Amino acid sequence: MEEAVEAELSAKERIYLCSSFELDDPALLKERFQEVYGKKVRQIDTHLFTLAGKKLLLCLFPSSVVREMMCESGGMLKTVFKGNTQDLRHIPALQHFLHFPDEDRYVESVFATRYERGNFEAVRALHYQIVKEVIEIKRDRGGPITLGPIAQWDA
């Protein structure tokens, strides 16, 4: 067990957040995780142990769950887009916030929106509005536009 903790502490890139909980009934916390994170609960690695007479649940939360935990408190959402400026100019949500070069060329860029607590849903809706508009543009014009990742959270 100590080797695993030392390996986690010395890792250069953290893909997990390690937390411990003192619990009377660990099953209750696992049930709550299931309610909140759904299928992602299978990604949470847990280890139950007793230390000094206390029941402790050690949890390793993957980055996907950490993002979900933190997104409501603020941060930045990023959507990557690629395409020809001629096609990208027809996406109203992008056109409103970004200026595309006059010349017709292929671009790769990121639409990033910083937000404060309480604004997550509104900002996410804006990023998914871009997706809807790209679908409409592709249906009408057929231009090759690529999106992804979409509305990815970052601190």
Q: Report the pLDDT value the prediction gives residue 73, as an integer from 0 to 100.
A: 95
Q: What CATH code would you report for 72-154?
A: 3.30.70
Instruction: Report how far residue 153's alpha carbon sits from residue 44's, in angstroms, rounded to the nearest whole number.
Output: 19
Length of the chain in terms of residues written: 155
| Residues facing 108 on adjacent strands | 82
- What pTM does this model have? 0.72
Q: Report the pLDDT value the prediction gives residue 12, as an integer from 0 to 100.
A: 63
Residues 6+ apart with CB under 8 A from 7: none
Residue 76 main-chain phi, psi, to 5 deg: -140, 140
Domain extents in the chain: 2-69, 72-154
Q: Could you read off the pLDDT tens digit of each residue along the chain, which spans 155 residues?
A: 567 666 656 666 667 888 999 988 888 888 988 998 889 899 999 999 888 999 899 999 998 899 889 999 999 999 999 999 988 998 999 999 998 888 999 999 999 999 999 999 999 999 999 999 999 887 777 678 999 999 999 98
Residue 97: name the closest of 126, 140, 56, 135 by CA. 126
